[in-house]
Amino acid sequence: MGTPLALGIRSPSHLDSLEWLESEDQDQQLSDDDVVVQVQAIGLTFRDYLIAKEQLNETDIGTECAGIVENAGNKSGFQKGDRVCLLSIASARSVIKTKASAIVAIPPYMSFAEAASLPSVLWLAYHALFSSANLQKGETVLIHQGASCVGQMAIQLAQSLEARVLTTTSSTSMGTFIHDVFHVQETDIFDTDDGALISKIYQPTQG
């Protein structure tokens, strides 16, 4: 697999000093539910930006990635050659070992780059709607900043449950995007700069 690499920053607060650095080998001894993945694409989030700018007291870059299974424990449910994406701290590296519970298989038509962009937003949106809000079929949900990556994912998850989506945006163009792509009714899209925002949201929800 070659020399293991990890994304690091030589000069904190200087984003142009991000570079691939040699890293120590991760312990390759496998538990039954461990999986080793040869990383093909990584996703960088706002968390990584804060780390690089020294605004977050952490050093490990990367939260999500996608790649090919290199090795897998007997009870992991994966095998060598599987295409997967995963959610894990310090995932901006060439090879990563993590638990099978943090990994899902990706379909053959999906690129590694696409797959690496999904885990964080999907987890956040799913947790917010179903674990925290306990959204049920036919209910109405308000999703703030619906044009953001998390907002777009939340809209799709809510629609899959046949929930009514109300959403806010910060510009007319973003509202048009949400209407055109996700078919949210124009009357259910609200401008965050509208001074009457709260009263307008109360109308379709009847308070």
Using one digit for the tens of pLDDT, what is the confidence trace for 2-14? 789 999 888 878 8
For the sheet containing 34-43, what is the strand order? 95-99, 34-43, 64-72, 83-87, 103-105
pTM: 0.83
* Confidence label for 155 from pLDDT (cuts 50, 70 and 90): very high
pLDDT > 90? residue 80? yes
User: CA 179, CA 112: separation in Å to the nearest integer?
Assistant: 28
The sign one gets for the Cα dihedral 119, 122, 126, 132 is positive
DSSP state of 30: P
* Confidence label for 85 from pLDDT (cuts 50, 70 and 90): very high
* Confidence label for 203 from pLDDT (cuts 50, 70 and 90): confident
Name the residue type at position 131: S
pLDDT > 80? residue 27? no
pLDDT > 70? residue 52? yes
pLDDT > 80? residue 1? no
pLDDT of residue 207: 60
The sign one gets for the Cα dihedral 198, 202, 205, 207 is positive
Using one digit for the tens of pLDDT, what is the confidence trace for 96-122? 999 999 999 999 999 999 999 999 999
Q: What is the mean pLDDT of residues 141-164?
A: 96
User: CA 186, CA 147: separation in Å to the nearest integer?
Assistant: 14
Q: What is the mean pLDDT of residues 154-173?
A: 96
pLDDT > 70? residue 60? yes
In whole angstroms, what separates CA 19 from the centre of its chain? Answer: 22
pLDDT, averaged across the chain = 92
pLDDT of residue 25: 65
User: CA 100, CA 111: separation in Å to the nearest integer?
Assistant: 21
pLDDT > 70? residue 95? yes
- Residue 96 contacts by C-beta under 8 Å, 6 or more apart in sequence? 26, 36, 37, 39, 65, 67, 86, 88, 90
Q: Is 33 left (phi over 0), alpha (psi -120 to 50) or beta?
A: alpha
